[in-house]
Amino acid sequence: MEGWHVDAIVEHLEAVTRGDIRHLLINVPPGSTKTLTVQILWPAWEWICNQHPRNERSPDGFRPDVKYMFATYEADLARQKSLKCRELMESAWYQALFEERWQPNPAQWGAGLFANDKGGWRLATSVGGKATGMHPDRQVFDDPIKPQDVLGGTKGKTKIVLENVWTWWTQTMSTRKADEHTARIGIMQRIHESDLAGRIIKEGGYEVLRIPMHFESKFPCRTVLRRDAQGEPEKIWEDPRSEEGELMCPARFSVDECAQRKKDLGPQGYAAQEQQRPAPAGGALYKAHYFKHWRVRPLGGTWIIVGDCTFKQLDTSDYVALQVWCAQAPDFFLIDQIRERMDVLETCEAIITLRSRYPQVGATIIEDAANGPAVVQIMQRTVPGMELVPTGGGKYARAHASSVPHASGNVYLPPLERAPWVQDYIEEHLSFPVGAYDDCVDAQSHAIMKLSQGMMDYEKMLETMRGLGVEV
C-alpha cells in the first residue's frame, strides 16, 4: 500500500539508519503497514544500503553487521514476521540487489533467529521473552501489549500489564544495548493513556511520529529528522494535511470504513486506536458516572442560553455550541443544544430559534471571543438580556470549576431517547482535555458558572434575611 504515511515512516527509519534519530516512537492506526515497513523491509534494506554513518566501523557506509531485536506481545507473531523478512532476503529479486555483500550463516538461519556471515542477526522475541546475552544495535517493540489484556481486563489487571511492559522496556531492555549508539524504536497503536507509548511520551527523549486516521488541526504532528552541530533543527517533518478531518489514506480507509470502525470500537476506542490520543477510561476530568438524565423537564427556575462561538463557517472550523440551561438550586438542567458550524448571521438565527422555543429564557450569555462580540452587537438592539462573558481563567480552569456540581450529582442532561446528540456531548466531556473538540464543554462551563453566581447571591440574600429574624 502506497501513501504519504508510509513515506513518513520510511523517512524516519532512514534518519535512524543515518544516525540522525536514535529514539523513535511511531503511533499509527491499525493496518497502516507499519509492521511490514519496520520489521520486514527495513532490516533487509539496512543490510545492503550504504546510508550508515561513515566511520572506522563502516568506511563505505555499508553495515551488514547490524543486529536487531524485534519484540511483540506474542512470540509466535514475532516469529511470523521474522520468517517474512527471511523469505524476502532469500528471494531472487533481493539477492540480485545486494551484490553478495553478505551470506547467510547456515548455523543460524532459523525462524526466530537468523544471522549472516558478517556478524549481523535478527532476533524475534516476545515482551518479557528470553534474550539473555543478545545486545542489538536496534531494539524495536511492535505492539507490545495485546489490546484485550488492557481493554478487556479489570482495573487491577490492566495496571499490572502496563507496569510489566514499562519495566521490561526501561529496565530489562535498557541493559541489552550493543553500545551508546543503539537505536530504540517503538511502533504501536495507542490503547490506553498509560500504555508504553504514553509513558515514553511523558518521559520525553523520543521523536514521536503520530499519524491519526483523521487530521486534527488541534494536534498537528511535527518531528525533527536532522539537527545541526549545535543541536538545532535542520530538517523538519510535518503532517502534510491541512483540512480538518482529512483521512490518512482514503484509498485504503474510506469514510464508510472509518464509520464502521468507530461503530465497532466505540468513540473512546476509536480516539485511542485510530486517532492516537486515548482518554482515561471512564473519563479524565469528567467521569462517566457523573452524567445523569432528567425524566421530566423542569418548569420553573432560572433559564439562560449560553454560547461558545467560532470565527468562520468552514469545514475546518470549530463548532458553535448554543445551549439552553435551567437552574433550580442546587441542580442544573441542560435542556437543549444546537451545535453546528455557523457564521455570525446563522448563529444569530439559531439564538432566535432557541429563544422562540423557550420563552422563559432570561439572559443569553455569549463568550467574549471569536464571533461572540459581533453576535451580541447585532442582537442586543432587538433581543433583551444579551451579555458577553470574559474568557479569563482558561478552558481547563473553567471546566474544572464546572465539574464540581457534576461530581456532586447536581447536573442533569436530556434523556438519550429524546436527544441522541447527548451521547456525543458526553463523549466530548469524557475525552476533555485531550479530545478534538471542547465547544460543548466550554459552553457548559460558562452556563454553570453564571447560574452558580445567581445561586450564591440568592443564598447570601437568604442568610441576610435570617440574620434579621425573617423566616424564610
> Residue 378: what pLDDT?
92
Quick check: 240 and 215 in contact, CB under 8 A? no
Q: Whose CA is closest to 43, among 58, 61, 65, 11? A: 65
Which residue bears the cell 480507509? 253
DSSP alpha helix (H) spans, 393-438: 395-407, 422-431
3-state secondary structure 22-62: CEEEEECCCCCCHHHHHHHHHHHHHCCCCCCCCCCCCCCCC
CATH topology of domain 288-460: Nucleotidyltransferase; domain 5 (3.30.420)
227 pLDDT above the threshold of 60: yes
Q: How far apart are the C-alpha atoms of 87 and 250, rounded to whole Å?
A: 31
Least confident of 156-170, 196-210, 234-248: 156-170
> Residue 77: what pLDDT?
94
Q: How much of the chain, in percent, has pLDDT values that exceed 70?
A: 92
Q: How far apart are the C-alpha atoms of 268 and 283, rounded to whole Å?
A: 9
Quick check: 309 and 369 in contact, CB under 8 A? yes
Peptide bond into 212 cis (omega under 30): no
Quick check: 387 and 365 in contact, CB under 8 A? yes
Region 4-273: CATH code: 3.40.50
Segment 288-307, tens digit of pLDDT: 889 999 999 998 999 999 99
Rounded average pLDDT over 72-93: 95
Q: Whose CA is closest to 282, among 438, 405, 427, 157? A: 427
391 pLDDT above the threshold of 80: no
User: Residue 393: which region, alpha, beta or left (left: phi > 0; alpha: psi -120 to 50)?
Assistant: left
| Span(s) in the chain for CATH 3.40.50 | 4-273
User: Residue 33: which region, alpha, beta or left (left: phi > 0; alpha: psi -120 to 50)?
Assistant: left
- The 8-class DSSP code of residue 211 comes to -
> Residue 456: what pLDDT?
53
Q: Whose CA is closest to 66, among 88, 44, 81? A: 44
Report residue 153's pLDDT band, with 50, 70 and 90 as the boundaries. low
> Residue 293: what pLDDT?
97
Report residue 463's pLDDT band, with 50, 70 and 90 as the boundaries. low
Q: How far apart are the C-alpha atoms of 439 and 445, rounded to whole Å?
A: 10
Radius of gyration of the chain, Cα coordinates, nearest whole angstrom:
28
Q: Residue 99's CB: how many other CB atoms inside 10 A?
A: 9
| Span(s) in the chain for CATH 3.30.420.240 | 288-460
First to last CA, the chain: 74
Rounded average pLDDT over 450-468: 60
- The 8-class DSSP code of residue 216 comes to -
Least confident of 135-149, 225-239, 247-261, 275-289: 275-289
Contacts 24+ apart (CB under 8 A), 199-203: 199/166, 200/25, 200/169, 201/25
316 pLDDT above the threshold of 50: no
DSSP H or E segment with residue 149:
helix 147-151
Contacts of 389 by beta carbon, 8 Å cutoff, 6+ apart: 365, 366, 367, 368, 446, 450
> Residue 458: what pLDDT?
42
> Residue 281: what pLDDT?
65
Quick check: 364 and 351 in contact, CB under 8 A? yes
472 pLDDT above the threshold of 50: no
User: Residue 128: which region, alpha, beta or left (left: phi > 0; alpha: psi -120 to 50)?
Assistant: left
Higher pLDDT, residue 454 or 11? 11
DSSP for 345-397 reads HHHHHHHHHHHHH-TT--EEEEESSTTHHHHHHHHTTTSTTEEEE--TT-HHH
Q: Whose CA is closest to 194, among 168, 224, 219, 159? A: 159
DSSP H or E segment with residue 471:
none
